[in-house]
Amino acid sequence: MMPKRIGAEAVPSLLSPGMRVYVQGSTSEPVAILEALRTQPQASQQIHYLSVVIPGINHTDFAAFHEEAKMTTFFMTSAFKHSFAQEKTIFIPMHFSEIYTYLDQLDSIDVVIIQVSQPDAQGYCSAGVSCDFMPVVLRKAQIVIAEVNGHMPHTYGSIRISLEHFDYIVEVEHPLPQIATLSLTPELVRIGQYAATLIEDGDTLQFGVGSVPLAILGHLTEKQNLGIHSGMICDAVVELVESGVVNGSQKSIDRGKIVTGMAAGTERLYQFVHRNPMVEFRPVSYTHSLEVMKQLDSFVSINSAIEVDLFGQVNAETIHGVQYGGTGGQVDFIRGSRLSSKGRSMIALLATAASGTRSRIVTQLSSGTIVSTARTDVQFIVTEYGIADLRNKSLGERAEALIAVAAPVFRPELTAKWDAHKRMW
């Protein structure tokens, strides 16, 4: 049966109290439908929204639509501050791979709201720039409502969705979110230079989001035959492909393919992935799978953090005890790189914060600070002052290596505090 075509303003009438409603996040957020829900607040009475929002991209507080609405999220942003304080937003810390499992274990989802590309000649839409959780939520859905966006690229991978799979479609024409390329400071440039020395020709890369991974990608222009297997790709990938640096020719699986779960960037990136057979969008059950990463020889994980202590513990999600973002896929990929033959992982971060007045290399994570990645998972720590290799290091050797990549002005204090720790032991 073909879907019914409706306007976005008609979607709120399809909801009823007590429903569990999944709304797609990332760069595929169905913005026209969300605006309709925002302007018709009564429709969200006793609705429990569920969404995998991405900080920096998604800013909609679903729990604010109605005083009796709730929301479950796996990442925190400042947009959720008030509803979280009111206990209307439920934050569940999880590895990205476990979110997929969590969704798969739900009995059902009453309504799933997604955004897809226009159908091809055979009547199939693609997942566009965000495939991450699409298979599992479609499998669990009782009702599927799709924004069919003329601006959404038609992409390849594991998801082709027949129009018959949708109950309702809302035809829209709006551009995708534009994630501007960040400018690089001299400190970020130095981080990129150091990190690039850990990457070899033929490696397959995973990278997180933000200025630090971007700085590293920008220093790979002299490398050859790199591959990509990542949860997300950005504009820098386009440059690496066009320059011939990334071709995937040495990948042990998915040879010649860029594998990703989502794309977030500018129109240049979205045009690049449109009908590009080199780029395959796969769900989290594949991109974040340890079994898959184990098959990728020379798999290198590149991520960032807020601070690292002298034990090697990584905090990537709290500042002064306040939750920002979530655990994400950092640990998934770090552990995947460890299973890979000749795999490596690095955490790269600026050595200081607050205009140089606070060290990001700290003696010990303070009370209330979350450990995102355990010390036993960490391999390389990279700052603008060098590389700390923590592999097979004792407690003292770890501390010494990390102090050496801290900002010089903080090294005496870190050394003195570490010595005090040792005396306490």
| 258 bridge partner residues | 228, 279
Q: Is 3 left (phi over 0), alpha (psi -120 to 50) or beta?
A: beta
Q: What is the pLDDT of residue 109?
A: 98
| 365 bridge partner residues | none
Q: What is the pLDDT of residue 321?
A: 86
Q: Residue 146: in which H helix or E strand, if any? A: strand 141-149
Q: What is the pLDDT of residue 208?
A: 80
- Domains of the chain from N-terminus onward: 4-172 (3.40.1080.10), 186-424 (3.40.1080.20)
pTM over 0.85: yes
**Direct distance between the N- and C-terminal alpha carbons of the chain, in angstroms, rounded to an integer:** 70
Q: Are 168 and 145 in contact (CB under 8 A)?
A: yes
Q: How far apart are CA 124 and CA 163, in angstroms?
A: 6
Q: How many CB atoms lie within 10 A of CB 137?
A: 24
Note the helical H segments in 252-329: 267-273, 284-287, 290-294
Across 84-119, b (16+ Cβ under 10 Å) vs e yields: beeebbeeeebbbbbbbebbeeeeebbbbbbbbbeb
Q: Please give the full DSSP string across 176-215, using - where no structure is assigned.
A: PPP-PPPP--HHHHHHHHHHHTT--TT-EEEE-SSHHHHH
Q: How far apart are CA 215 and CA 193, in angstroms?
A: 8
Under-50 pLDDT residues of the chain:
none
